[in-house]
Amino acid sequence: AQSVTQPDIHITVSEGASLELRCNYSYGATPYLFWYVQSPGQGLQLLLKYFSGDTLVQGIKGFEAEFKRSQSSFNLRKPSVHWSDAAEYFCAVQGAAGNKLTFGGGTRVLVKP
Amino acid sequence: DTEVTQTPKHLVMGMTNKKSLKCEQHMGHRAMYWYKQKAKKPPELMFVYSYEKLSINESVPSRFSPECPNSSLLNLHLHALQPEDSALYLCASSQQDGGSTEAFFGQGTRLTVV
């Protein structure tokens, strides 16, 4: 069975500082990996995805993520956060065999002025 | 057009009511999904439709009844719900080409059962 762990429930970062959100997955083969962002009461917006190829993927809003097979990780980074980045971030994994998307527990990001 | 549109945005219903949530996409996607999200929790998969046929039912109670009338529309019929069913209900769609596909989510319907 596939699973995702996001070890940090909350992260507080100052505006302009760098941000890194951790994601560890469990899946028997090469997974398809995603990062989504959700503002309060809203739907989920896809930030970036990894299917294959280059392990460093670029996404929208200045985010990037690196796939590390040896560590079963897919951490999300942003060099300089903006107040508008305050939201809930979900890492998700999807297997090749089906359409089931499994989410991690989420990390809430708070941005201090 | 990369939108998934859900209506209504908010719904309050009594435990004896019957209501429906609607979802629409015009991206030509052949897989559509219903997720339930409780406060401060990740979305949980309820149903998957693939080519208008129900392919996954995650042991959802029968008071939730999905329907896919055509490739663009997905409904969730609600009947005799409980207060614990109050949640954000999210619809999503994706291309039907195996695992290398991304899901597009709607803005959700905030359901309150009183």
Asked if B90 and B43 count as a contact pair (C-beta separation under 8 A), the reply is: yes
Report the gap between the CA of A77 and the closest CA in chain B (Å): 20
Return the pLDDT at A46.
95
- The type of residue at A49 is K
Checking if the pLDDT of B90 tops 80, the result is yes
Ramachandran area for residue B86 (φ above 0: left; ψ -120 to 50: alpha; else beta): beta
Q: Which of residues 57-86 of B touch A (CB under 8 A)?
A: none
Identify the three-state secondary structure at position B36.
Answer: strand
The full length of chain B comes to 114
B33 touches chain A (CB under 8 A): yes
Please tell me which residue, B11 or B96, carries the higher pLDDT value. Answer: B11
Query: Which amino acid is residue B34, in one-letter code?
Result: W
Whether B105 contacts chain A with CB within 8 A: yes
What is the rounded average pLDDT for all residues in chain B?
Answer: 93
Q: Once rounded to an integer, what is the mean pLDDT over residues B29-50? A: 94
Q: Average pLDDT in the B89-108 region?
A: 85
Mind listing the pLDDT tens digit of every residue in chain A (113 residues)? 789 999 999 999 999 999 999 999 998 777 899 999 999 888 999 999 998 889 999 999 999 999 999 999 999 999 999 999 999 999 999 876 666 889 999 999 999 99
Burial class (CB in 10 A: 0-12, 13-18, 19+), A66: middle
Whole-angstrom CA distances from A8 to A105, B37, B71 are 9, 19, 39
Mean pLDDT, residues B2-24 taken together: 95
CA distance A91 to A106: 7
pLDDT at residue B68 is higher than 90:
yes
In this prediction, residue A100 carries a pLDDT of 80
A62 touches chain B (CB under 8 A): no
Check A100 against B56: CB less than 8 A apart: yes
The reported pLDDT for the residue numbered B112 is 97
More confident residue, B1 or A46: A46
Q: Is the pLDDT of residue B4 over 80?
A: yes
Residue with tokens 């319907």: B109
Q: What is the pLDDT of residue A24?
A: 97
3-state secondary structure of A51: coil
Using the predicted structure, report yes or no on whether residue B2 has a pLDDT greater than 80: no
B84 to chain A, closest Cα gap in Å: 18
